[in-house]
Amino acid sequence: MQYATLRNNVQIPMVGFGVWQVDNDTEAPAAVVEALKTGYRHIDTAAIYKNEEGVAKGIAVSGVKRSDLFLTSKIWNDDIREGNTKQAFEDSLKRLETDYLDLCLLHWPVEGFVEAWKDLIELYEEGKIKAIGVSNFKEHHLEELKEAGLMVPLINQVELHPQLPQPDLLDYCQDEGIQIEAWSPLMQGKFLDIPAFTEIAEKHGKTAAQVVLRWHLESGHVALPKSVTPHRIRENFEVFDFSLDADDMAKIDAVATHERIGPDPDEIDF
Ligand code: NDP
């Protein structure tokens, strides 16, 4: 496993297990058990995924100690708008059967995010969260926090993959000491047959998904691949035994179309 070190010296495993669209009852417990058995120690959930209980079940069955896990959840938009961040955080803890989070994020930059960020800072200062951050924030949202004189987030989790490499946002975050996490790191599995990926995969005796994940790691992104398929859960973790050369990286960089799969944070209404 590779780790990144956040500005506050917290270590974060660079491959995390994403669980968006993983059903709480029928999928989450088994998928989490499989992931933890494979070696993942970082799980990325959110209140809105409605599977925090299922994740907790999987963790309990796995026998992995809480202190060996990096657990992330997120404050949903309604709670941000309604000024309900602290209660939403406590509710997530309860569903996750834990008394702290390793990382808590504001899910989207909806109205009220500056006040919500103040609440997260207080929880962080009380020691209830090891690291705090935001998700889907653009440069101008991050600037708003700065202008309010508030702590710079430790993390920004955004849509990021070879088709949408977001160079300006990444430069901004690097300058500010904000670690980037990539959501939909595998482009939701939709574009893995692009020749650049399959050719590089063949050269290294790996799969296209593994090549894309390796590109993330070598670019310094924490990546959060999601799968409920046991062989893919394992495949997505077998990425620490090879590396890409400059030629491979350039070929993957050339795949960029700058098109999003998900919504633009400036246009959301949910
Ligand atoms: P991913 O890029 O991780 O792709 C997941 C899809 O790809 C699934 O359909 C999965 O299928 C398939 N897949 C997984 N592994 C492979 C593989 N090795 N080969 C081929 N196909 C594969 O997309 P997500 O959108 O799920 O994003 C990942 C995580 O990022 C989420 O689970 C969530 O934790 C986070 N996220 C955060 C957001 C935010 O707003 N902060 C928004 C979106 C995601 P199957 O499961 O059937 O195996």
Tell me: the pLDDT tens digits for 156-205? 999 999 999 999 999 999 999 999 999 999 999 998 999 999 999 999 99
Domain-embedded: residue 38: yes
Domain-embedded: residue 257: no
Across the range 121-133, mean pLDDT stands at: 98
Domain-embedded: residue 264: no
> From the CB of 185, is ligand 1 less than 6 Å away?
yes
Domain-embedded: residue 215: no
Q: What is the pLDDT of residue 218?
A: 97
Full residue range of the structural domain in which residue 117 is found: 3-188+221-228
- Which pLDDT band holds residue 264 (cuts at 50, 70, 90)? very high
Domain-embedded: residue 97: yes
Is 49 one of the annotated active-site residues of the chain? Answer: yes
Report the separation in Å between the CA atom of 20 and the middle of ligand 1, taken as the mean of its atom positions: 7
Inter-CA distances, 247 with 193, 227, 240, Å: 19, 29, 19
Domain-embedded: residue 22: yes
Give the contacts of 63 (CB within 8 A, at least 6 positions apart): none
pLDDT at 243 over 90: yes
pLDDT at 89 over 90: yes
How high is the mean pLDDT of the chain?
98
Across the range 76-83, mean pLDDT stands at: 98
- Which pLDDT band holds residue 26 (cuts at 50, 70, 90)? very high
Domain count, the chain: 1
- Please tell me the residue having the least CA distance from ligand 1 atom 37: 183
The CATH number covering residue 101 comes to 3.20.20.100
Q: Catalytic residue among 3, 40, 49, 172, which?
A: 49
Exposed, middle or buried: residue 234 (CB in 10 Å: 0-12, 13-18, 19+)? middle
Contact between residue 106 and residue 74 where contact means Cβ atoms under 8 Å apart: yes
Domain-embedded: residue 209: no
Q: What is the pLDDT of residue 56?
A: 98
Across the range 115-131, mean pLDDT stands at: 98
Q: What is the pLDDT of residue 205?
A: 98
Q: What is the pLDDT of residue 268?
A: 85
Domain-embedded: residue 151: yes
pLDDT at 269 over 90: no
Q: What is the pLDDT of residue 153?
A: 99
Of ligand 1's listed atoms, the one at least distance from the Cα of 161 is 2
